[in-house]
Structure formats: C-alpha cells, structure tokens
C-alpha cells in the first residue's frame, strides 16, 4: 500500500522538534497565608515548568536553535560554556523570541545524578537516632499504580494517584464546584452504590451458608428491593462512621489526614485506611507527578563503590555541603541550619550527630573568616519527591571510614593553641624569630656604632655569641 502524500508544510511540522515540545506546566502556587510573603523574582522555582532546549556545536556557532529565528550569541554561547535555554514564547508582538537560561534545573539534575541516589517514597527521617529509614522504591509493582492499573485489584496493592481530588487541599470554591459535579452524577453513583450493596448481601449469604455447612455453589444472589436499598442508604446517613468509607471508595478519593485529638469525641466522617503508596501523602496530599519525578530509575542501593586503590567501599565518596544559613533566630523563631548539597537546599543535616564529632565551623553562627565559606562533608542516604514536586534529600555526616580512602579532611579553624604549618613539615627547618625584621641585626657588639649585616644561619649566631663572651670588659 502506497504511503499517503502529505504537503510540504505538514511534512515539516511532522519532523519538527519544536512542535514535539511538551506543554508548559503550571507554576507552583504558594499556600494561602494572611502574612506578608517576601519572595525573589529571580529565585529558582521548585521544579521545572518548561522543557530545556540544547543544540549541537555546529548549529550553536550560527545561533541556530531550531526556533523561528536565531538567538544572539551574547546571551547564549558567550555567556556560558554549556548553553541551555527554555522558550517562553516563540514569537511575541515585538517579533522577538522570548527565552531564558535553563541551566538552573539542568545543572541541578546533573549534580543529583552524580550522587548515584535511587529515589525513595517519602518518609520521616529521625536524626536523633542512628536508625536509617527503610528504603522503598516507587517502582515496585504493588505501589506503582494509578486508577487504571490492572494490578490494583491484588491484595495489598497501593496507588499514588486517584480519580477524585484531595479534599483537604481544596479551597471553598473548588469544593463547591466539585459538589455540583457530584450532584450531576447522582444517578450513576446510586447505581454503583446499589451494586456495592448487592455484593455485600451476597457475601453475607455465602458466609452464613458456610457457617451452616451448606453447599456454596447453590447459594444464589439475593434479590434486593427498592425499600431495602432506601433503608440501607438511610442507615448510612445516620452513621457517619459507616458512610465515610463508602463515600471515599465510591468517589475514589484519597484518604484524608488523621482526625485531631480534640475532635475524637465528636461525630465525624471517618475515612478508610490510606491506599496511597506512602503514608506521608495522606498528610500532604497525593503527588502531582510520579513519585520518582524522572530523576533516577535505580530501584535500590545495591551498588558497590569500587575505589581504584582500596577496592570496594561500604560508602560512596562523601559530598561537600555548603552551609547556606546557620542556626539562629529567623523571622522571630529559632531556625535550623540550612545547607546546600548538589544544588538542593536541605534543612538541618544530621544536627544530633554533631555532638560527638564536633560542630563544623560556621554552623552555629556566620563566620566570614572561613576561606571559601563554611562547608562540611556529608553522605546522602535518601532522596524523595514530595507532593509539591520538591526534592527532599536526607544525609548523615560523613564518617572517618568514608573519608579516609579519598584523603578528605574537615576544615579546622586555627586558634591560639594551634601548631603552625612550618612545624608540621617533614624537613628540619626552623623559622627565624626575627624574620619580620630583616634589616635589624640580632646581636650588636659593644663599641660598634655602624650597624652590622644581619646574621643568617646557626653558625653565624654561634660565632657572634662567642665574640661577645670573649670581648674585654670595660670599666
């Protein structure tokens, strides 16, 4: 069969990489707050919203990025050795291409991939203990499910996405709009509810036949009348504890957060056990993307770090973390230290273990005397993506066994009792005490008026001392 002919324009669009770009995502919304929020317009967003575009070196020399018009070299190739751009608008009213650098998220991705960290499901990390949180990959069969997955019907299967919205994260207007949508679907929902009631009565009949020792094959599904179904619906309305699980399962809603202790004695609509892949999602909401976010597809930590000289290592090479904000009071409250690891801001990295190994310089207070800024070495242990698309990195301070194969040493700030670097040298060299006064003689014989040349070396000092001892005494 001959291939269908297409026009040159259609053929151009079919082979164009520009039209293959995905649509831009919505920018993350800030949580509602009555306080004044100060933000930076140039700060890096938590997650990328537009695709990054690169071009080969042959096209980069001509400014050709596959767009409608070439991009200036002053803003691309001359500004960075590895130019990467993101396009905001292909063509504007002023006939220009609106673009900006995409090196922020691109470099963050490359730095994260150098950590060789598998993605995990979110879990709380308790730094007060030495217990490492258990790693659970989001690619396991029983947790990597959506509302359309075939393995969702298996026992113990969980999912990271539901058909219904997360009610705890909706505003009043969004919840009112969702109620209108549910009211329009009332006949279909009642039909599903009746099928659920039929299955429940049939299961009760089989259970009763099994207790009586009857043949289960002869048990027929009971016929439910409209009066019985209305009575069942009325009983659910009178009992919120029984109606809650039915509503959540019927509308396929993610489980709500736990009920506060102050409302335990009151009547409330109880939600069933969470079906989300991680318990943290029940508090913060289901993830907007896949729990891995495409950062890494490694499923476990089962990898060996082979050192070229010392062989396989139990720990990977430590990573240097920069202290971005030391401990102290921030916005009227006691804040934790914030450090940067691989382009990711992490809060309070293993603060409890600093008691035994000593607090790194610059952690408790800002210290401008540290060359290059305050830093210390860490070993990443867990990486996960929360429901808002932010990368959560957990790490412990690197131990001596992890730093020894690579010759890594922590920076120690010199003090009054520190030994000078000259005393640590292997050569037998002793610094002169009068090195700061090279033109002033150390010893001066009596009766001399003209200054002598400075003496150098041990022999000169001994000769001068002997001359002073043998000199005649004057009265």
Residue by residue, pLDDT tens for the chain (475 residues) are 455 677 888 887 777 777 778 888 887 777 667 777 777 777 788 888 889 999 998 889 888 888 888 999 888 888 888 899 998 888 888 888 899 999 989 999 999 999 888 999 988 766 555 566 788 899 988 889 888 888 887 878 888 988 889 888 888 898 999 999 999 998 999 898 888 888 888 888 888 888 888 777 777 888 888 888 888 888 888 887 888 888 888 888 888 777 776 666 677 777 777 888 888 888 888 888 899 988 999 888 888 888 888 899 888 889 999 998 888 766 666 677 888 998 888 876 555 444 445 678 888 888 888 888 889 898 888 899 988 888 888 888 888 888 888 888 888 877 656 555 545 555 455 555 554 454 555 445 545 555 555 545 566 777 777 777 676 655 4
CA-wise closest residue to 338 among 330, 328, 348, 350: 348
- Report residue 165 as tokens: 């919205």
- pLDDT for the residue 9: 82
Decide the pairing of beta strands 98-101 and 85-89: antiparallel
**Could you tell me the sign of the dihedral formed by the alpha carbons of 249, 251, 255, 256, in that order?**
negative
Q: What is the Cα–Cα distance from 318 to 401, expressed in whole angstroms?
A: 10
Question: Distance of CA 387 to CAs 28, 188, 257, 298, 430, Å?
Answer: 11, 31, 14, 20, 62
- pLDDT for the residue 360: 83
Other CB atoms within a 10 A radius of the CB of residue 122 amount to: 23
The b/e string for 127-149 (b: 16+ C-beta within 10 A; e otherwise) is beeeeeeebbbbbeeebbbeeee
Helices 186-211 and 172-184 meet at what angle, rounded to 10?
Answer: 70
- pLDDT for the residue 178: 92
Q: What is the Cα–Cα distance from 305 to 105, expressed in whole angstroms?
A: 27
- pLDDT for the residue 455: 46
SS3 of 397, please?
A: strand
Spatial neighbors of 6 by CB under 8 A, at least 6 apart, are 14
- Count Cα neighbours of 182 within 13 Å in the Cβ-side half-sphere: 16
- pLDDT for the residue 396: 81
| DSSP letters for 283-335 | HH---SS-TTTTS-----S---EEETTTEEESSPPPEEEEEEE-SEEETTEEE
CA-wise closest residue to 279 among 432, 134, 464, 116: 134
- Report residue 71 as tokens: 């991009």
- pLDDT for the residue 379: 87
Spatial neighbors of 309 by CB under 8 A, at least 6 apart, are 405
- pLDDT for the residue 427: 46
Decide the pairing of beta strands 319-325 and 338-341: antiparallel
CA-wise closest residue to 193 among 233, 245, 242, 244: 233
Q: What is the Cα–Cα distance from 422 to 148, expressed in whole angstroms?
A: 70
CA-wise closest residue to 249 among 180, 176, 200, 177: 200
- pLDDT for the residue 353: 47
- pLDDT for the residue 1: 45
Q: What is the Cα–Cα distance from 340 to 378, expressed in whole angstroms?
A: 11
The one-character DSSP state at 28 is P
The b/e string for 272-281 (b: 16+ C-beta within 10 A; e otherwise) is eebbbbbebb
Helix ranges (H only) for 41-171 are 57-60, 103-114
CA-wise closest residue to 105 among 126, 81, 125, 86: 86
DSSP-assigned beta bridge partners for residue 385: 391
**Could you tell me the sign of the dihedral formed by the alpha carbons of 283, 285, 290, 294, in that order?**
negative
Angle at 297 between CA 295 and CA 303, to 5 degrees: 115
Q: What is the Cα–Cα distance from 409 to 197, expressed in whole angstroms?
A: 68
Question: Distance of CA 119 to CAs 108, 115, 396, Å?
Answer: 15, 11, 17
Q: What is the Cα–Cα distance from 394 to 383, expressed in whole angstroms?
A: 6
| DSSP letters for 335-393 | E--EEEETTEEEESTTGGGHHHH-PPTTSSS--TTSTTS-EEEEEEEEEEE-TTS-EEE
DSSP-assigned beta bridge partners for residue 313: 305
* 349 in Cβ contact with 320 (< 8 Å): no
């Amino acid at each position: 069969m001959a291939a269908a002919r297409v026009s040159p324009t259609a053929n151009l669009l079919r082979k164009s990489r520009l039209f293959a770009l995905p649509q831009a995502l919505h920018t993350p919304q800030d949580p509602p707050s009555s306080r004044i929020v100060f933000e930076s317009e140039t700060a890096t967003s938590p997650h990328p919203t537009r695709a990054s575009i690169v071009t080969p070196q042959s096209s980069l020399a001509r400014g050709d990025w596959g767009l409608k018009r070439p991009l200036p070299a002053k803003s691309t190739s001359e500004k960075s050795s590895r130019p990467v751009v993101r396009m905001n608008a292909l063509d504007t009213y002023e006939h220009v291409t609106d673009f900006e650098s995409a090196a922020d998220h691109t470099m963050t991705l490359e730095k994260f991939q150098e950590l060789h960290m598998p993605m995990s499901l979110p879990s709380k990390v308790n730094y007060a203990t030495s217990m490492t949180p258990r790693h659970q990959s989001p690619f396991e069969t029983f947790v990597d499910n959506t509302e359309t997955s075939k393995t969702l019907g298996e026992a113990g299967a969980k999912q990271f996405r539901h058909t219904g919205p997360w009610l705890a994260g909706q505003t009043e207007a969004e919840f009112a709009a969702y109620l209108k949508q549910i009211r329009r679907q009332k006949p279909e929902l009642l039909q599903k509810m009746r099928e659920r009631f039929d299955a429940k009565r049939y299961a009760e009949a089989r259970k009763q036949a099994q207790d009586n020792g009857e043949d289960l094959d002869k048990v027929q599904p009971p016929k439910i009348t409209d009066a019985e179904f209305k009575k069942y619906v009325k009983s659910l309305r009178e009992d919120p504890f029984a109606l809650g699980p039915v509503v959540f399962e019927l509308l396929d809603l993610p489980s709500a957060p736990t009920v506060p202790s102050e409302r335990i004695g009151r009547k409330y609509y109880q939600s069933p056990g969470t079906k989300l892949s991680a318990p943290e999602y029940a508090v913060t909401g289901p993830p907007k993307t896949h729990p891995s976010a495409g950062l890494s597809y490694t499923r476990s930590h089962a990898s060996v770090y082979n050192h070229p000289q010392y062989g396989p290592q139990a720990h990977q090479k430590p990573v240097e973390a920069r202290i971005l904000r030391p401990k102290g009071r921030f916005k009227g409250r006691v804040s934790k230290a914030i450090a940067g690891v691989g382009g990711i801001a992490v809060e309070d990295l293993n603060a409890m273990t600093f008691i035994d190994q000593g607090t790194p310089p610059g952690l408790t207070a800002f210290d401008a005397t540290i060359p290059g800024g305050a830093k210390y070495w860490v070993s990443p242990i867990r990486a996960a993506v929360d429901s808002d698309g932010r990368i959560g990195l957990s790490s412990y301070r690197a131990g001596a066994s992890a730093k020894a194969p690579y010759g890594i040493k922590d920076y120690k700030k010199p003090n009054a009792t520190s030994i000078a670097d000259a005393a640590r040298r292997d050569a037998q060299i002793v610094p002169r005490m009068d090195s700061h006064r090279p033109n002033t003689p150390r010893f001066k014989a009596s009766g001399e008026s003209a200054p002598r040349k400075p003496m150098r070396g041990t022999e000169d000092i001994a000769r001068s001392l002997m001359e002073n001892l043998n000199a005649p005494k004057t009265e």
